[in-house]
Amino acid sequence: MSSRVCAGAVAGLLLLSAVSGRAAVRSVLFIGNSFTFAAGSAVRFYRADIVADLNGQGQGGVPALFRSFANQAGLDYDVSLETRGGSGLDFHLAEKLGVIGSKPACRS
């Protein structure tokens, strides 16, 4: 499954849950690799100021696009990302669980 399809599916599910009347998700944490931060494209640093990059690398990527789209739809999400190129979820859970668990508030 391509990263675009995955990102679109996640965004669609989150937006659907907010519209369906359930308790709205107030924060979203993107955990991933270079596909998540859009390495090699202009999107990598797009609107990095509207998301919290837990690695402090100033990346926006797909999470910043998601927050921009959500804001345009009138939805307010606290969006963070924890990414590392070439790494799977197993790496993030083994090596970055402390960072993920202590997610700071997003900058707006």
Select the more confidently predicted residue: 44 or 25.
Answer: 44
Q: Return d(Cα 9, Cα 95) in angstroms, integer.
A: 26
At residue 2, the pLDDT reads: 53
Q: Return d(Cα 103, Cα 15) in angstroms, integer.
A: 22
Residues 57 and 19: beta-carbon distance below 8 Å: no
At residue 64, the pLDDT reads: 96
Burial class (CB in 10 A: 0-12, 13-18, 19+), 68: middle
Summarize the confidence of residues 17-43 as an average pLDDT: 77
Place of tokens 């921009």: 68
Q: Which pTM does this prediction carry? A: 0.70
Residues 37 and 44: beta-carbon distance below 8 Å: yes
